């Protein structure tokens, strides 16, 4: 079922309206929908990766006060925003995952605002399945939303968009625009299932090398051969029969080639590098010094813009001048040695204090006993130590 139902009063066709279905003129080509597209491994991997990364970034609410950024406690709408699929309130992590999943595969995500706070802002947003949502456009603007056939005003619908173009009040669907590539992959997948699972045979030639066969006998032999092959049984013949697979090798080669092409092509449609979803990259590889650099490139070139859009949309749920930030630190997680060198550089440059670093590592501030112990084993520069004394009696005397 299409996300955007074609209404007679709609004067602006949805993105799917510009895609010519391949199944209209070529029988045997798979039909592509938001659901069948998930059979494509690259589609699933791209959606999973992007949703996983963005939904697990901690939500931070900040407020700028006299040039100082202050952290604020998140309101309930950013802790448990609402329900999904008739369930009770779900956490922000699951809510972000579901909405990002819909944004990346359809360009839109919808929710019904069922509660508002004293400021008139949404206090609960219940997510809606894409298959149950339709839109009506009037004068180039969104006029009504339809949820399961019931009309709603735009004021009670939460609608985030992605992949927008001028003049179109809904986001574009990557699945719709990638339908040609996806349908090719799904079609060769159906061929493979038929060939390996159901005993389907490509076009071939069964010839009698000893004598000429009349049409009646040829029909009988053909039926016997097809019945044996489709049933997975044995076909018995004499030494005068020759079987030649005309298209078997070519079809298998085309199948493998199309599978490899489909994965890389879909990765580009969904703005996800092929190498991060384990897709084979034949050329143009870029070697990164470490994982942090690879993730930084992923963040800047692919995930970052989607994060900024989500932050802007979530900020609309808060009263000004509060805003929402998704912490990207998890994506740039460093190995222990690199992390230690990074913290040391911050301390040496007087950009951060040791207590701030300990807080970042989920440790409490140093106690006085801990400070004295550190000064004993690691005296500051310029201190003097009594000659002949052991390490346990180091004098941490300040230098003159």
Q: For the segment 148-206, what is each residue's pLDDT rounded down to a tens digit?
A: 889 999 999 999 999 888 888 888 888 777 665 666 555 545 544 444 444 444 445 56
Place of tokens 């090798």: 249
132, exposed or middle or buried, with CB in 10 Å at 0-12, 13-18, 19+? middle
Structural domains in the chain (count): 2
- Is 156 inside any structural domain? yes
With a cut of 80, say whether residue 256 has pLDDT above it: no
92-106 helix and 41-55 helix, angle to the nearest 10 degrees: 140
Contact 112, 156 (CB under 8 A): yes
Same domain, 157 and 240: no
**DSSP β-bridge partners for residue 384:** 397
Contact 121, 319 (CB under 8 A): yes
Same domain, 237 and 280: no
Q: d(Cα 262, Cα 182) in Å, to the nearest integer?
A: 7
Write phi, then psi, for 160 (nearest 5 degrees): -100, 145
- Is 295 inside any structural domain? yes
- Name the band, by pLDDT with cuts 50, 70 and 90, for residue 61: very high
Same domain, 1 and 139: yes
Segment 364-384 mean pLDDT: 78
Same domain, 43 and 105: yes
Most confident of 11-25, 223-237, 364-378: 364-378
Q: How far is CA 271 from CA 101, 326, 348, 359, in A?
A: 13, 20, 39, 35
**Which residues, including other chains, have CB under 8 Å from residue 203's CB and lie 6 or more apart?**
246, 247
What pLDDT is recorded for position 48?
Answer: 93
Contact 23, 180 (CB under 8 A): no
Segment 77-90 mean pLDDT: 85
- Name the band, by pLDDT with cuts 50, 70 and 90, for residue 398: very low
Global confidence as pTM: 0.67
- Is 177 inside any structural domain? yes
Contact 205, 248 (CB under 8 A): no
Same domain, 104 and 224: no
The residue segments making up the domain with residue 98 are 1-196+247-331
- Name the band, by pLDDT with cuts 50, 70 and 90, for residue 333: confident
99, exposed or middle or buried, with CB in 10 Å at 0-12, 13-18, 19+? buried
- Is 350 inside any structural domain? no
pLDDT digits (tens, 9 = 90+) for 97-107: 999 999 998 88
CB atoms within 10 A of CB 204: 13
Question: H helices then E strands: how many in the chain?
Answer: 11, 11
Q: d(Cα 102, Cα 384) in Å, to the nearest integer?
A: 66
What pLDDT is recorded for position 40?
Answer: 77
With a cut of 80, say whether residue 78 has pLDDT above it: yes
With a cut of 50, say whether residue 92 has pLDDT above it: yes
Residue whose C-alpha is closest to residue 296's, from 256, 328, 319, 338: 328
Determine what percent of the chain is predicted with pLDDT higher than 90.
26
Same domain, 5 and 96: yes
Average pLDDT, the chain: 75
What pLDDT is recorded for position 308?
Answer: 95
**Domain end marker among 331, 365, 386:** 331
Residue whose C-alpha is closest to residue 133's, from 100, 155, 109: 109
Q: Which two tokens mark 238?
A: 């004499």
């Amino acid at each position: 079922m299409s996300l955007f139902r074609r209404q007679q009063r709609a004067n602006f066709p949805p993105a799917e309206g510009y895609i010519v279905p391949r199944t209209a003129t070529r029988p045997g080509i798979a039909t592509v929908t938001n659901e069948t597209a998930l059979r494509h491994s690259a589609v699933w991997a791209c959606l999973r990766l992007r949703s996983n990364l963005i939904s697990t970034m901690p939500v931070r609410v900040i407020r700028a006060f006299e040039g100082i950024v202050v952290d604020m406690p998140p309101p309930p709408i950013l802790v448990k925003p609402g329900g999904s699929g008739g369930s009770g309130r779900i956490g922000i992590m699951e809510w972000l995952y579901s909405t990002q999943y819909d944004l990346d595969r359809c360009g839109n995500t919808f929710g019904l605002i069922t509660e508002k706070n004293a400021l008139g802002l949404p206090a609960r947003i219940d997510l809606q399945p894409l298959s149950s949502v339709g839109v009506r456009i009037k004068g180039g603007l969104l006029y009504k939303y339809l949820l399961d056939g019931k009309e709603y005003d735009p004021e009670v619908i939460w609608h985030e968009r992605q992949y927008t173009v001028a003049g179109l009040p809904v986001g574009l669907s990557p699945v719709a625009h990638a339908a040609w590539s996806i349908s090719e992959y799904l079609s060769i997948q159906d061929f493979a299932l038929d060939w390996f699972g159901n005993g389907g045979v490509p076009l071939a030639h069964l010839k009698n090398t000893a004598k000429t066969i009349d049409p009646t006998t040829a029909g009988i032999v053909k039926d016997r051969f097809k019945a044996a092959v489709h049933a997975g049984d044995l076909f018995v013949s004499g030494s005068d029969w020759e079987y030649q697979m005309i298209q078997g090798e070519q079809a298998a080669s085309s199948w493998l080639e199309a599978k490899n092409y489909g994965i890389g092509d879909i990765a580009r449609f969904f703005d996800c590098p092929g190498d991060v979803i384990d897709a084979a990259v034949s050329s143009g590889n870029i070697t990164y010094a470490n994982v942090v650099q690879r993730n930084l490139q992923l963040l800047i070139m692919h995930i970052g813009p989607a994060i900024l859009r989500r932050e802007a949309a979530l900020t609309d749920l808060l009263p000004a001048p509060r805003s929402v930030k998704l912490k990207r630190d998890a994506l740039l997680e460093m190995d222990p040695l690199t992390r230690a060198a990074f913290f040391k550089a911050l301390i040496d440059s007087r950009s951060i204090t040791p207590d701030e670093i300990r807080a970042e590592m989920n440790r409490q501030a140093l106690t006085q006993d801990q400070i004295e112990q550190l000064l004993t084993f690691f005296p500051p520069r310029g201190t003097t130590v009594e000659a002949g004394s052991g390490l346990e009696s180091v004098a941490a005397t300040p230098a003159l």
